[in-house]
Amino acid sequence: MKNVYFVLIASSTCLMTFVPKRSTAQCLCSSGLPATPITQSITIAPKVSSSLTFNFNQFDPSVGTLSCVSLKDTVTIVTTSSALNTGPDSTAFLFQLTVPSKITAPGITINKVFNKTYGYDTLSPHGVPGYSITYGPDTIALNNKGSGSTGGNAAYIGIGTVGITFAITGGGLSVLDGGLNDTTSVATTLAGTLNLTYYWCPASALASLITNFTAAQNGNYVQLKWQSENEQKGISYAIEYSSDGHSFTPAGTLISDSNSDGTSADYQYEFSIPQNTNGKLFFRIMRITADGNSAIYSPVKMVNIGGDGSLVSYRIYPNPVSTFAMIEFDKVLSGNFTVDLANTAGQVVRHKTLTLSGSNQIKLDLISRLATGLYYLHIHDQLNNRQYISKLIIE
């Protein structure tokens, strides 16, 4: 019997894409070279709302070091205002429309205020209450641009999402001149784009001699594993950790195996999790030569600590993929798993069953060629009845 997964496609007012842009000089690496930007763009379809929240993907720390973050918005705001005279006042009224907007993200706030004046207008024939007037729909902001930035804020680092809120707060029609017997209302439609750019730098000189570096929680420890290519006597490996992905603290040191000179060697280190730790921990390995004059770093790995252990984060790489994909969890897992790869029609094109015993990695081989395009990777942890679903692009 063929397995078929039904792919749910939901309509949304937001479209997220990754768009590489040219580097700018506003964010530099420690080497003095411009940081490399990666931009996500969300399109806001015209929507009547007082507050909207958008989720952007976090910066994957295994790519490099996040140097700074830039947020830019381009918005169009259309309003329809109305005023009603509740008394017999025949005085001419002068109104001012005020629409404040506020974009809030970790470490970034963009405030704007839009104003427009209406009138003078008489809201009733003499002595007759209940006469009203409507203004608009009027475009009070057309492709208005704003921006803000922050440093390598830890809230943006990880393999999850970070929320950004766009709020239209307290928009109203106030009386500048005229009687007091009026009531007013304002309806606002918002549209535009939000662009979030991560500026990142390589983690010093990335160590091609350090391969297959993984970090996974195993009880009260984080289990670090890596391989060293072309091992040399006197080489040392400094294990470092961080709570924000920027400032790293030494955790321990391992010395190279004297019997592995010129060959590859496997290493393992168990990091004892400090008490009351809750949240993200970042790890990297520094390879130091025997004379101590040269050091290179591994990529950074992140582990999510805390809770009851039911929350398991994972990442898939490479993505896009051509020959194989690695699924890497941030916790050591055991039990039976099924892995299914389905196309956009829901047809399973790859199926795999396996058993993990104290491991945090699954390898999915794509030996026979599949058509390029978008696929859905479905992983089922049968022991804990957990499911992990991700998009996979085959190139």
| CA 89 from centroid of its chain's CA atoms | 55
Q: Which residues make beta-bridge pairs with 223?
A: 216, 270
Please check whether residue 326 is in contact with residue 362, taking contact to mean a CB–CB distance below 8 angstroms.
yes
**295-297 and 301-305 beta bridge pairing:** unpaired
pLDDT tens-digit series, residues 143-158: 999 999 988 788 888 8
Average pLDDT over residues 105-109: 93
pLDDT over threshold 90, residue 74: yes
pLDDT tens-digit series, residues 188-212: 888 899 999 999 887 654 456 788 8
- Give the per-residue pLDDT at 109: 93
Say how many residues make up the chain.
Answer: 395
Coil vs helix vs strand at 260: helix
Cα–Cα distance between 297 and 386 in angstroms, integer? 34
Please check whether residue 324 is in contact with residue 363, taking contact to mean a CB–CB distance below 8 angstroms.
yes
Cα–Cα distance between 85 and 246 in angstroms, integer? 60
Average pLDDT over residues 110-134: 79
Other Cβ atoms within 10 Å of 219 Cβ, number: 11
Tell me the pTM: 0.59
Q: What is the DSSP letter of 259?
A: G
pLDDT over threshold 50, residue 288: yes
Mean pLDDT of the chain: 80
Please check whether residue 139 is in contact with residue 76, taking contact to mean a CB–CB distance below 8 angstroms.
yes
- Give the per-residue pLDDT at 32: 64
Cα–Cα distance between 116 and 140 in angstroms, integer? 7
How would residue 164 be classed by pLDDT, with cut points 50, 70 and 90?
Answer: very high
